[in-house]
């Protein structure tokens, strides 16, 4: 029985419940002392980000060290593949992301790609993947979804959400559909501020909810909340802190009984309104089961403050003890599911399939869409790559583009990268010109630079590696539906004449 009164009088059971529902990140590639101590005391989860991951051997050692302190710990990451990769952040993803898979629209291929991702994660010792993104790309100007979504058709997104969940979980790793109830129809990035989803309940049912229904029917183990204001259901509280959305819609109407995990509660969209600890408590009260604490607030202090705030909320009656116990039980249920999957599906010493999964490159090739005629380049080209800003979910250090893979196939290829303050160079005479952009329609300076180059060289080949806009400038335009390593490789093969055209479709 929990002892009422000050925190000093709180029972160990209460501290254990509070610890169980937390999933913090940390800094470094080894387990810090504070985290070892917290795990030994019962911390229920840990979130890994690219700053923690170097290579497969290091990741396996890291997860083994975490599990040595708490065998039941849930070890999570957000390996979406595509532009948002953690296991391959230093080299770029060997698999295309959701938009490319949606462009191909072969659910069996999507399931196969996701199964490969799951095999990598399982071999690395990771048990929960904060993926797939099942947002519907309803707004081309959305600053956070883009290539992370399967597409703009709710039913296409739904069938690929189900396939991705099935493939990942068949490898023994829990999937987590996000960002509930849908981040695709917003013009604000929830990493920065609180977006509003202006759809009516009927519009939500027709657009953003079908992918969640499909993921739930496929047996998805977890759902991540979005820091989104949805006035049709709750005009006052973001979805992460709304019982009307988490219980009324997700639990009761959609029938989801798995783990509800929050998006990172230190994101300004909620932290600036409620504080990190206030956001965590409100989320638990509303029906969330696990609190993700990402990378923006680092160190042991924040985690300790959050545990204390959760205990204080139980003691003062803000957070019912039964609600916290229910949340902790769902975390433990996911941990038990993961342990059973490890027992059944993990092979000791498995090295994983990173970089060796042929379905990745095959999918990237099939995702290319071409307008105009593409002939093998007659000479090594000049490449101009416009480096536009990406959202915070995409690691800035992750390589992308076509210069490097093209130079490997056509020696003598050289490239230049341009930012918003750089002057557009005069294109070289007598050489093919390849112009590479990323979400060109969203960045006026990129569109202007592209137009300036095409005015001089209308024969240039334009490669769009982000979300395609309404226009396809250039006589020859190639859309990759993502900026992954394999997408760049697929373009390079095409331009160098090393790829068959099988499966490629006109734009």
Asked whether 459 and 375 are in contact (CB, 8 A), the reply is no
Question: What is the SS3 assignment for 62?
Answer: helix
HEC states along 26-41?
CCCCCCCHHHHHHHHC
**Beta-sheet pairing, 461-464 with 291-293:** unpaired
Instruction: Mark whether 191 is an active-site residue.
Output: yes
Question: What is the SS3 assignment for 370?
Answer: strand
Q: Catalytic residue, from 263, 289, 357, 439: name it.
A: 263
Asked whether 209 and 197 are in contact (CB, 8 A), the reply is no
Euclidean distance between CA atoms 380 and 411, whole angstroms: 7
Asked whether 224 and 131 are in contact (CB, 8 A), the reply is no
Find out whether the peptide bond into 179 is cis, omega within 30 degrees of 0.
Answer: yes
* b (16+ CB within 10 A) / e for 179-193: bbbbbbbbebbbbee
Cα 454 to its chain centre, rounded Å, is 34
Instruction: Mark whether 441 is an active-site residue.
Output: no
Euclidean distance between CA atoms 404 and 381, whole angstroms: 12
Find out whether the peptide bond into 105 is cis, omega within 30 degrees of 0.
Answer: no
Asked whether 172 and 250 are in contact (CB, 8 A), the reply is no
Question: What is the SS3 assignment for 500?
Answer: coil
Specify the length of the chain in residues. Answer: 507
HEC states along 121-160?
HHHHCCCEECCCECCCCCCCCCCCCHHHCCCCCHHHHHHH
Euclidean distance between CA atoms 176 and 354, whole angstroms: 21
Cα 27 to its chain centre, rounded Å, is 19
Euclidean distance between CA atoms 72 and 339, whole angstroms: 8
DSSP string, 311-337: HHHHHTTSS-HHHHHHHHHHHHHHHHH
Give bridge partners of residue 260 from the DSSP assignment: 223
Beta-strand ranges (E) seen in 156-278 are 174-180, 222-225, 259-261
Asked whether 212 and 254 are in contact (CB, 8 A), the reply is yes
Question: What is the SS3 assignment for 256?
Answer: coil
Burial class (CB in 10 A: 0-12, 13-18, 19+), 26: buried
Q: Catalytic residue, from 160, 183, 191, 481: name it.
A: 191
Residues catalogued as catalytic:
191, 263
């Amino acid at each position: 029985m929990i002892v009422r009164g000050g925190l000093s009088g709180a029972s160990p059971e209460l501290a254990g419940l509070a610890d169980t529902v937390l999933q913090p990140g940390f800094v470094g590639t080894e387990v810090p002392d504070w985290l070892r101590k917290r795990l030994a005391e019962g911390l229920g989860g840990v979130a890994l980000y690219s700053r923690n991951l170097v290579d497969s051997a290091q990741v396996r050692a890291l997860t083994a060290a975490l599990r040595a302190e708490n065998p039941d710990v849930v070890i999570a990451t957000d390996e979406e593949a595509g532009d948002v990769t953690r296991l391959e952040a230093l080299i770029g993803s060997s698999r295309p992301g959701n938009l490319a898979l949606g462009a191909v629209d072969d659910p069996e291929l999507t399931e196969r790609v996701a199964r490969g991702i799951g095999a990598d994660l399982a071999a690395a010792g990771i048990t929960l993947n904060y993926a797939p993104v099942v947002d519907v790309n309803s707004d081309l100007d959305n600053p956070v979804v883009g290539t992370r979504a399967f597409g703009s058709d709710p039913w296409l997104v739904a069938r690929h959400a189900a396939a991705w969940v099935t493939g990942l979980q068949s490898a023994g790793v829990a999937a987590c559909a996000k960002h509930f109830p849908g981040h695709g129809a917003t013009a604000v990035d929830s990493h920065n501020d609180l977006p509003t989803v202006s759809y009516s309940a009927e519009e939500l049912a027709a657009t953003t909810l079908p992918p969640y229904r499909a993921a739930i029917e496929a047996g998805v183990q977890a759902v991540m909340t979005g820091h989104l204001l949805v006035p049709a259901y709750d005009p006052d509280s973001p979805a992460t802190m709304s019982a009307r959305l988490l219980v009324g819609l997700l639990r009761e109407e959609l029938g989801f009984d798995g783990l509800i995990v929050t998006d990172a509660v230190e994101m300004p969209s909620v932290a600036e309104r409620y504080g990190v600890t206030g956001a965590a408590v409100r989320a638990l009260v509303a029906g969330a089961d696990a609190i993700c604490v990402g990378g923006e607030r680092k160190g042991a202090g924040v985690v300790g403050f959050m545990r204390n705030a959760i205990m204080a909320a139980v003691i003062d009656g803000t957070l019912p003890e039964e609600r916290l116990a229910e949340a902790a039980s769902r975390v433990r249920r996911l941990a038990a599911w993961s342990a059973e999957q490890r027992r059944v599906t993990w092979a000791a010493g498995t090295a994983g399939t990173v970089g060796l999964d042929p379905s990745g490159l095959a999918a990237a090739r099939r995702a290319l869409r071409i307008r105009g005629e593409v002939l093998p380049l007659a000479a090594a080209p000049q490449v101009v790559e416009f480096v536009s800003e990406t959202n915070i979910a995409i690691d800035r250090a992750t390589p992308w583009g076509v210069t490097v893979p093209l130079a490997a196939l056509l020696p003598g290829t050289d490239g230049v990268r341009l930012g918003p303050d750089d002057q557009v160079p005069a294109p070289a005479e007598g050489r093919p010109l390849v112009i590479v952009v990323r979400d060109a329609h969203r960045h006026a300076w990129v569109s202007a630079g592209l137009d300036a180059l095409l005015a001089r060289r209308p024969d240039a080949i334009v490669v769009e590696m982000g979300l395609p806009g309404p226009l396809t400038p250039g006589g020859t335009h190639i859309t990759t539906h993502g900026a992954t390593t394999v997408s760049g490789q697929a373009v390079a093969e095409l331009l160098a004449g090393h790829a068959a055209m099988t499966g490629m479709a006109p734009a």
